Amino acid sequence: MLPLTVSLTPDELLTRTRSVRRRLDLTRPVPLPLVEECLRIAQQAPCGSGRSVPHWIVVTDPRTRAAMGEIYRSAFDEQWSAVTAAALSGTQKRSLDSAAHLADTLGEVPVLVLACLNTGGPLPGGNQASLWGTVMPAVWSYMLAARTRGLGTTWTAAHLRQEQRVADLLGIPPGVHQAALIPTAYHRGPDFHPAPRPPLESTVHRDRW
C-alpha cells in the first residue's frame, strides 16, 4: 500500500506529475472525501473575475463509468484509428499506446472527474482564452493535489468529440460546457520523472516573436 500522502518539493511536484494510464490501480477504491479534498484545493486556483467558477461532476457509479468508458473509446477511435504507427516517432507511439490502454480501461477507473464551465448559453465568440482559463488552472491544481495523495490522473479531452453523448448520460444542461475529463485512481509505483520536452530556446522569444 502506498502512503496516502507523497512528500514532494514544489518543483518535484510540478515536474513529476505525469499522465498515469497503465499504472492506475483499477481495483483499489478511492475514498470520495479524498477526491473532495483535492477539489477544495482546486477551488483556490485563479479564475477570471466575474466569470463563472468551474463545476465538477464526480462519477463513481459503476454503470455510469462503464457508459462513459464506451463513449470515450468510441471518440478515441474516431480520432486515432486513421493514424498509422509508421507516421509516429517512438515517443509519440509510446504515448499513443498508453493512451489506447487508457481508452480500453477508462470505464473501470474508480473515479472520473469531469470539469465543466457554466456559461448559461452557447459559447460566446471573442475571448476564449479567459473563458477556458477560468477552468484549466483548477483542473491542474486538482491533478497536483491528487498526486500528493498517492493518486494518479491524466488530463483527457478525447471524449469531447462526442460531448453531447456524455451530456445526455450525466444530465448536463445546455449552457454547461465540458472542459476536461480526469480519470483518478491510486497509482502503482511512485517513480515518476521529468518528461522530455523541447529545448527551452525553441519556445522562448526574447522581446518579440
Ligand X SMILES: Cc1cc2nc3c(=O)[nH]c(=O)nc-3n(C[C@H](O)[C@H](O)[C@H](O)COP(=O)(O)O)c2cc1C
Backbone angles phi, psi at 60, to 5 degrees: -125, -15
Residue 158 near ligand X by CB under 6 A: yes
Smallest CA-to-CA distance from 68 within 99, 27, 107 is with 107
Q: How far is the CB of 85 from ligand X (least distance, A)?
A: 16
- List, as one string, the DSSP characters of 149-171: TTEEE--B-GGGGGHHHHHHHHT
Residue choice 157, 164, 189, 190 for contact with ligand X (CB under 6 A): 157
Rule CB under 6 A: choose which of 154, 166, 184, 187 binds ligand X. Answer: 154
Q: Does 19 bind ligand X (CB under 6 A)?
A: yes
Closer Cβ to ligand X, 31 or 161, answer by number? 161
Can residue 179 be called a binding residue for ligand X (CB under 6 A)?
A: no
Does 22 help bind ligand X (rule: CB under 6 A)?
no
Region near ligand X per CB under 6 A, out of 8-16, 34-42, 115-123, 148-156: 148-156
Closest contact distance (angstroms) between CB of 207 and ligand X is 28
Minimal distance, residue 141 CB to ligand X, in Å: 14
The set of cell numbers assigned to 132 is 477556458
Burial pattern 47-80, b for ≥16 Cβ within 10 A else e, equals: beeeebebbbbebeeeeebebbbebbbbbbeebe
Residues 6 or more apart whose CB falls under 8 angstroms from that of 201 comprise: none
Map the footprint of ligand X across residues 61-100, applying CB under 6 A: 95, 99
Strands (E), the chain: 54-59, 111-118, 151-153, 176-186
184 binds ligand X (CB under 6 A): no
List 209's β-bridge partners, or say none.
none
Q: 173: which 3 cell numbers?
A: 444542461
In the complex with ligand X, the residue whose CB is nearer, 156 or 184, is 156
| Closest distance to ligand X from the beta carbon of 206 (Å) | 26
Q: List contacts with ligand X (CB under 6 A).
A: 18-19, 95, 99, 102, 154-158, 195
